[in-house]
Amino acid sequence: MDLRLLDFDCSEDADGVVCWDALAQPQTHHNSALLQEVSQVLAWAFCFDAQGPGSLEDGANWDFDLQATLHPSGQPPVTAVITFSPVTRDITITPPASDQRIELSLSLSGTPSFAQAFRDHWGAP
Q: How confident is the model at residue 69, as a pLDDT?
A: 96
Q: Which residues contact 117 (CB under 8 A, 6 or more apart)?
A: 48
Q: What mean pLDDT comes out for the span 75-92? A: 94
Q: What mean pLDDT comes out for the span 108-125? A: 89
Q: Is it the case that residue 66 has pLDDT exceeding 90?
A: yes
Question: Which residue(s) pair with 81 in the sheet?
Answer: 94
Q: Minimal CA–CA distance to 67: which of 32, 22, 12?
A: 22
Question: Which residue(s) pair with 71 in the sheet?
Answer: 101
Q: What mean pLDDT comes out for the span 100-115? A: 94
For the chain, give the mean pLDDT: 91
Q: How confident is the model at residue 82, as a pLDDT?
A: 96
CA distances from 18 to 90, 95, 99, 103 (A): 25, 32, 35, 23
Q: What mean pLDDT comes out for the span 33-54? A: 93
User: pTM here?
Assistant: 0.91
Count other C-beta atoms under 10 Å from residue 120's C-beta.
9
Q: Looking at 56-113, which runs of residues are DSSP E strands?
A: 62-71, 78-85, 90-94, 101-110
Residue 51 phi/psi, 5-degree rounding, is -65, -20
Angstrom distance (rounded) from CA 118 to CA 48: 9
Q: How confident is the model at residue 15, as a pLDDT?
A: 83
Q: What mean pLDDT comes out for the span 25-54? A: 92
Q: How confident is the model at residue 122, as a pLDDT?
A: 86
